[in-house]
Amino acid sequence: ADYDLAVRGGQVATGFGTVRCDIGVKDGRIVALAERIADAARVIEAGGLLVLPGGVDSHCHIEEPQPGGGANEESFATASAAAFAGGTTSVVCFIPQWKGHGVWDRYVDYRARAAKGMLDHSFHQIISDPTDAVMDDEVPRVVAEGVRSLKVFLTYEPLHLSDAQYLRVLTKARELGCLVTVHCENYDAINWRTAELLKHGMTAPKYHAWARPPVVEREATHRAIALAELVDQPIQVFHVSCAEAAEEIARAQARGVKVWGETCPQYVALTAADMDRPGFEGAKFMCSPAPRSQEEHARIWEMIRRGTLDVISSDHCAFSYEGDKGKRQNGADAVFRDIPNGIPGFAARLPVIFSEGVSKGRITLDDFVRLTSTNPARLMGLAPRKGMIAVGADADLALWDPRKKVTITNALMQHAIDYTPYEGLEVTGWPVATIRRGDVVMRDGKVQAEPGTGRFLPRAPYDLIRPRGVVPDGFDPAPPAGR
Ligand code: URP
Ligand code: ZN
Ligand code: ZN
Ligand code: ZN
């Protein structure tokens, strides 16, 4: 046979319109797009279905090792199953750095962990302790391996960086040709609000949102962009939850600054009211930034349509509700400050965004493909190998039934976590098969993939994240290499 696999009769979504064509696959790559492909070893009939590029989830936390020796509950194997169940085939996840430690050993350890999964994967390197030894010796070695983004947190104990430390990371990223990805919330403001809330006995999960209102996100977003502009270093602002933060991004983009904005399903489908459910249930919805309101959801959709926010990732960072690694690890009635932040979202990402976005008429199918696959692949330097249906690209596909109605349950999510924040949500549109490099890794909800088949995706330097060469007064104290 000419082809290992043919996907026949589907409506192929390119992100720039939809065409009726067959897809021919050989050695894991798309080698033909044609009106009719006949001679294939295996045929999948996709009549009546959309054929989408496999989802690219460019922000997700998998198995991040902890200083004590443990790791997040979700392993690369369970995360892979959950991602495939939801039509996602590639991820960019996080190598941690612990204060007082380097990054090289963590990189080596994390490569080995990721190799046990089934997802194609790339990494952001978290920087929480930018010492001379780390920044001048170890980080360049990790970047040379193809880890082309550095992730910083402007809040969280013990991860947050001061402005001086953040400037140092920006400068090093510029020198090395990396993107910087940023968690933008004001650390001191959140601590101050938290202390005041606890002093007043306001300890329940819902006060998590009160401790970090939109203004602390807007302030940190402004500052993150301003300092990036000072250094002339491209950044992506992670998990934008509110329009006032997105407006900061829009204003900078209008000046020509290279700043991109990401949002997540939780910021269009969950609300602060979810954290006010009876008892401790609200902990199930606790992530940072906090879920907002339905009015804010409408504003986020508008910022998506305007193109200010051009990537939708899951920020999957999962803790079960029960168990000693879970939301109640500090007690069944822990104060909000002591409840781990983050929610599971791998399998829900595409269905929630398709349903709330495309099925409800808020965005187009082309928007959906670009937001969930093409744009994250481009921004991370993984396109055109990932994120597109094109000759030469990896044969990563999601076969999608746009009319199928499903009520989300935790079992459908196929993660290692004991709950989903989307339990009971009715969605229209669902993946019926997921194909990774030509292998059918999910069909009708059944995941079938061998652990250890996921590939590391090293990222070479790429144009999109090249600095602009615009610095205040033309004074460039640290020009990037090769300019
Ligand atoms: O609450 C969240 N989002 N936890 C995951 C870590 C992060 O901030 O992205
Ligand atoms: Zn600190
Ligand atoms: Zn974050
Ligand atoms: Zn995150």
- Taking the CA of residue 238 as reference, the ligand 1 atom at the shortest distance is 9
**What is the band of 439 on the pLDDT scale with cuts at 50, 70, 90?**
very high
Q: Specify the residue for token string 């509950």.
A: 73
How much of the chain exceeds pLDDT 90, in percent? 95
- Which residues, including other chains, have CB under 8 Å from residue 148's CB and lie 6 or more apart? 177, 178, 179, 380, 381, 459, 460, 461, 462, 465
| pTM of the entire predicted model | 0.98
Q: What are phi and psi of 372, to 5 degrees?
A: -105, -10
**In this structure, which residue's CA is closest to atom 8 in ligand 1?**
288
pLDDT at residue 239 greater than cutoff 60: yes
**In this structure, which residue's CA is closest to atom 5 in ligand 1?**
342
Residue range 5-19: mean pLDDT, rounded: 96
Reported ipTM: the value is: 0.91
Q: What is the Cα–Cα distance from 222 to 282, expressed in whole angstroms?
A: 30
Q: pLDDT tens-digit profile of 311-338?
A: 999 999 999 999 989 999 999 999 999 9
pLDDT at residue 235 greater than cutoff 90: yes
- Which pLDDT does position 174 carry in this prediction? 97
Ligand 1 site, residue 287, Cβ cutoff 6 A: yes
List residues, by chain if needed, whose CB lies under 5 Å from ion ligand 3: 183
Ligand 1 site, residue 327, Cβ cutoff 6 A: no
What does the block give as tokens for 483? 């300019």
Ligand 1 site, residue 262, Cβ cutoff 6 A: no
The CA 127 to ligand 4 mean position distance, Å, reads 14
Q: pLDDT tens-digit profile of 259-290?
A: 999 999 999 999 999 999 999 999 999 999 99
Ligand 1 site, residue 183, Cβ cutoff 6 A: yes
**What is the band of 482 on the pLDDT scale with cuts at 50, 70, 90?**
low
What does the block give as tokens for 218? 């807007």
Q: Are strands 426-436 and 439-443 parallel, antiparallel or unpaired?
A: antiparallel
The CA 51 to ligand 3 mean position distance, Å, reads 31
pLDDT at residue 483 greater than cutoff 60: no
The CA 258 to ligand 1 mean position distance, Å, reads 23
The ligand minimizing its distance to the Cα of 92 is 4
